[in-house]
Structure 1
Amino acid sequence: MANQDYPGVCMSCSTPECQIVAPDIQAVRERVKHDPITGYTRNVVNNLTTAMSDKFTDEYEAYLAFDVVKAAIVMGLKNGQKIDLGGLGEFTIQTVNGKKTVTFTASPSLDAAIKE
């Protein structure tokens, strides 16, 4: 399936044989560079930058990684897949009265963590 944010990148395949690469990653980097990092996203980006300072030298690189995760979730949902993020939960599409909605079901470990 085509991917609007990352043209040519397979976001739903998880096999090592997948050799699809983005033809214009520079355009993606330019778009992300100008996106404002606000709300809880800023907290995620700051934590990525701090926890993995050897991988992310600045918040731009961490936000790019966060953006890829968002795109992977969207593309999986568009392909009709359940997106199970271990320890976090599962995203699915449900159709109610002809309308598609995204649902999230927390994992048991997430449920337990918020009840502590």
Structure 2
Amino acid sequence: MKRLISLASLSFALLIGACASVDVTKTGKGAYAPTDPNSVEILKTRPTRTYEELGTVTVTGFDATESAKMHNAIRAKSAPLGATAVILMEEGMIQVPFGMKRWATGVAILYK
């Protein structure tokens, strides 16, 4: 019985750890050529340059120490829209049974 409980706990921990996701929802009009994910900027403040909003970005489930991994995932998901940057409007941490997980919301943009 103890082995079954340990196996269930381990499975739950792996399931929670594997739930990191980035969702991008297109909100802008038109279509743009994809950009190189490595060139997409991650911003914490609104830029002074003019830009067009392409879509919303929602991020959940990255470990507290995985900010670089989270930023790279945001870049990879935003680049197909033609984004040149993503403005992270809000972000934080949430307590889960086995540690802390990151969350963030933002906007994918194209500089004009």
Q: TM > 0.5 between the two? A: no
TM-score computed with the length of structure 1 as normaliser? 0.21
Structure with bigger gyration radius: 2
**Relative to total residues, which structure has the larger strand share, 1 or 2?**
2
**Relative to total residues, which structure has the larger helix share, 1 or 2?**
1
The structure showing larger relative contact order (alpha-carbon pairs under 8 Å, at least 6 residues apart) is 2
TM-score computed with the length of structure 2 as normaliser? 0.22
